[in-house]
Structure 1
Amino acid sequence: MEHKRKISSRILTAALIAAMALSVPVAASAAGATQANKQVPSGIKVVLNDVQFQPKSAPFLENGVLYMPLRDTGELLGTIVFWNSTTKVITMTYPNQFVKLNYGSTQATVNGKAVQLTAQLRLVDGRMYVPLRFFSEAIGAGVEWSPSKSTVNITKSNDFVKYETGSTCWLNHKTGDLYYAYPYEQPPVPIGKIELDHPLQGNVSIDTMSVNSGARIITVVDNFGEPHVNYDVYSVLLVNKKIVTQKKASYFQRYDGNVRNYQTLDSKAEKWIEHLLMTDGKILSVYNDQGQLVQEYDLPKLAGQDDIYTIEGIGDDYLLVRPNKTGLLTLIDLNDHSVVVLCDKLLTGQELDYAHNNDVPYRGDDLRYHSESTDGDLIYFTHYSPFDGKHHLLTYHRKSAN
């Protein structure tokens, strides 16, 4: 079989979610057209949970209503806001909340129920502005207006972490409840619960990866401790928008991410076969695109070290793993069960010495899987040298090495 890979990159950073919005009473109504209000700096400060928020465009007052750009509002709220320029409809999604507004209307719907608006949407210089009180109340944010300071103070529980790219995931970092929306402007639906050992406590990020069947792996990384040297990695496998299995692995100092899928080419059937990968750091589990377990590998047994491992590459007859303690990328041949520490074959001199002995910022080498030849004999790696500051392409010959 021939291979190609979809290797997951480092987990994207995602901010813990907040919320906001309001309309406020003013001593005198804002005079003039919306355009005029937009051009004059309002001096209004927006503070969320005691932290000042900097919108890309300043909010403005009009007839006693405070407006803020749609995108800025969504970012602050931790919601998904979507403007359909064809139908002139705005939707806002959040766990257990779905809001829909028509441009020019004074009525909206919240979870299907009609709600009367006191102010319409405003389109200024091609940018949509929304009345903030309505959006605030829609998701339960508390709002206080300080006229003397021209400051809006918003309070909102930061229960959810959000990941957005075509689809959207929300994770309650206290309870593990997971919500999913696809496409991202659709109402989010609960899909299950991640079994957290404890509430997430550090820099939390979420990443998601799907295959053609629709099966999906969601990975949550909690990077905590001081100075952020601990990684709890939770992964869940979704089939038909339901969690069918989940794993947890914990790493210290170093987490390079795990490969989560790969494809093999069935030359007889002339089609690619997709596989999904999950690990608890010791057992690598391989699933088909329907979420069924098809293979397991005992990594400490295969590598000969009792350790926690990341999965950094996979082929028909080999695994590329990195033990957490040494940090040295290791090739496991599944034919003869031989084990090769790759830096010993690919690096020399001070580069090799550095890989074995350096521990700043973490132990190990900087070898990364790149690709392989069609027959799988040649495996290509990139290596970052701390001495010349460059990336180098290196080749490992499996047959000649044996």
Structure 2
Amino acid sequence: MVYKKSCASLLLASALFVSPLAIPGAYAAPTSDYHYEIHVAGQPSTYVQQDSVYMKNGTLYVQLNSLADRYWIQASFDSTGKRAGFNGWLKKIGVRDGSKKAIVDGKVVMMPKPAYFKKEKDSKQPGVYVPFQFAIEALGGTYTGYNAQTKAVTAKNLQEPHFIYTTHHGMMYGADKNDGAVYKWDGKSKPVQIFSLNHNLDAAGIDVETTPGGLLLITIGNSYGEPHLNSEVYQFLYKNGALIRQNHADYSPGNTDLMDRYKGKIMMNDSHILRFIEDGSGDVVQTIDLTKLGNKGVDQQYSIEAMDDDMLLLRNANDFELSIANIHTGHSALLYKQVLSANEQKVVEESLPDALQFMSADRLTFKKRVGHTLYFTFASPNGDPPRTVTYDLNQLK
């Protein structure tokens, strides 16, 4: 039986892409007598990023790893560990240990004092320390000075990140959260827009993979609303550079699919129709009408939690109930009514109207199949210890 977490589900798990920006007034435990204060463009004046800076030879330094990470710019090092590159969307910074020379977006910039690298206690990567003013200007902000009274160095105009991106086979793929435009970028020429979602994004992530059959699959997961309980997934499938399939499923507060492959086939589920795409050709080789199989009406939506040749576990995005369906006969059944006691069913039914995505709905989690027996964990809403329940597929003909 094939059952695995999909990249889309991983992207959306636990409101995964919460902004790395500091919350208003946030201030890390001080490790220095000096600190920085950064006002982010477009944020209220009370929204100030703060963290430590370090005085060395009369110059205030900041750890570039930490500061750049707030803006989704990640560090990498050469084999010697003496050269560091900081790469993000439309941003490249390169520095060398002990050197004043830096490269910012392809241009040579001289820092007032040399960078220095320092082994950090809780990190495999060395800390890269550069003059604070250089770091701010390299990231596109404005240096505004030093307050000797508060020992604070200040800056403004840093832009809040609005691009999500990933790197695949040397190419960067990014989505503008403001308008949903998706681009690819080789790091040299201008980014090329490849499509648009025609929709803005909230707490989102992007994944790009090349399938075993040579297709390119781009998946964008978006968790939206307050407090980010709504989930949607976009999929775009390319063959030889041409878009051949696309899919979108908006589950609102429902769960996203826990499967994206079955026996080598790519699964695309729009929450109504499940399509199986042959890897390599990109052809649709099988479709399953989930609304028909779920037997709850044509306006319902379903995500996939597990499947085998003869059965499908699907969860309704509107009432959060998990069903078992026989693919061949079309028969289906609500699992909680089959595997729980009368008292447990009552407790579940009382909690379902208030169920949310993170509350596991009917509290049934699929674990494994052995022969014709399916095993689930039931975590009762009343706080009883979780227990294992089983369902015999022979009951569903």
- Sort the TM-score into its range (normalised by shorter chain): 0.7 to 0.9
- Seen in structure 2, the aligned counterparts of structure 1 residues 173 and 102 have a Cα distance that, compared at 3 Å, is same
1:279 maps to 2:260 = no
In the other structure, the counterpart of 2:97 is 103
Instruction: Please show how residues 308-347 of structure 1 align to structure 2 within 5 Å.
Output: 308-347=301-340
Q: TM-score normalized by structure 2?
A: 0.77
**1:365 counterpart residue number:** 362
Partner deviation per Cα, 1:278-335 (whole Å, 9 max, x = no partner): 2222122222343713332221122222211122122223222112222211122111
Query: Does 2:180 match 1:176?
Result: yes
* % identity of equivalent residues: 22
Q: Does 1:60 align with 2:54?
A: yes
Output aligned runs, 1:178-193, within 5 Å.
Answer: 178=182, 192=193
Change (3 A) 1:294 1:5: same
Q: Deviations over 1:111-151 (max 9, x none)?
A: 43333333321123543212333343334233433525524
Partner of 1:29: none
Partner Cα distance (1:78, 1:338) in 2: 48
Residue matched to 2:123: none
Aligned twin of 1:71: 65
Of residues 322-331 and 167-176 in structure 1, the stretch that sits farther from structure 2 once superposed is: 167-176
Distance 1:43 1:277, change over 3 A: same
CA offsets per residue over residues 335-379 of structure 1, 9 Å max, x none? 111112111111122221233343123494121222223x5x222
Alpha-carbon displacement from aligned partner over 1:48-82 (angstroms, at most 9, x marks no partner): 44433354xx2113355432123212222221122
- Preserved CA contact (<8 Å) 2:104 2:138: yes
Question: RMSD value over aligned CA atoms?
Answer: 3.6
Q: Is the 8 A contact 2:271 2:301 kept in 1?
A: yes
- Larger relative contact order (Cα-Cα within 8 Å, sequence gap ≥ 6): 1
Q: Check 1:66–1:39 CA distance in 2 against 1; reply closer, same or farther (3 A cut).
A: same
Separation in structure 2 between the aligned mates of residue 152 and residue 229 of structure 1, nearest angstrom: 36
Q: CA deviation at 1:18?
A: 5.7
Segments of 5+ residues of structure 1 without an aligned counterpart are: 20-37, 265-273
- Aligned partner letter, 2:222: V
8 Å contact from structure 2 (residues 167, 173) kept in 1: no
Distance 2:129 2:304 in 1: 46
Q: Contact 1:18–1:156 (CA<8 Å) still a contact in 2?
A: no
Query: Is 1:399 matched with 2:394?
Result: yes
Relative to 1, partners in 2 of residues 1:357 and 1:165: Cα closer, same or farther, differing over 3 Å?
Answer: farther
SS of the aligned residue for 2:338 comes to helix
Contact 1:47 1:151 in 2 (8 A): no
Q: Does 1:113 align with 2:113?
A: no
Give yes or no for the alignment of 1:290 onto 2:280: yes
Q: Which amino acid aligns with 2:137?
A: E
Give the distance between the partners of 1:189 and 1:356, measured in 2 at CA. Answer: 55
Compared CA separation, residues 231 and 45, structure 1 to 2 (3 A):
same
- Does the aligned pair in 2 maintain the 1:107–1:117 contact within 8 Å? yes
Q: TM-score, normalised by structure 1?
A: 0.76
Answer yes or no: is the 8 Å Cα contact 1:89–1:102 preserved in 2: yes
After the TM superposition, which of the residue ranges 354-363 and 88-97 deviates more from structure 2? 354-363
Shift of 1:165: 9.9
What does residue 35 of structure 1 align with? none
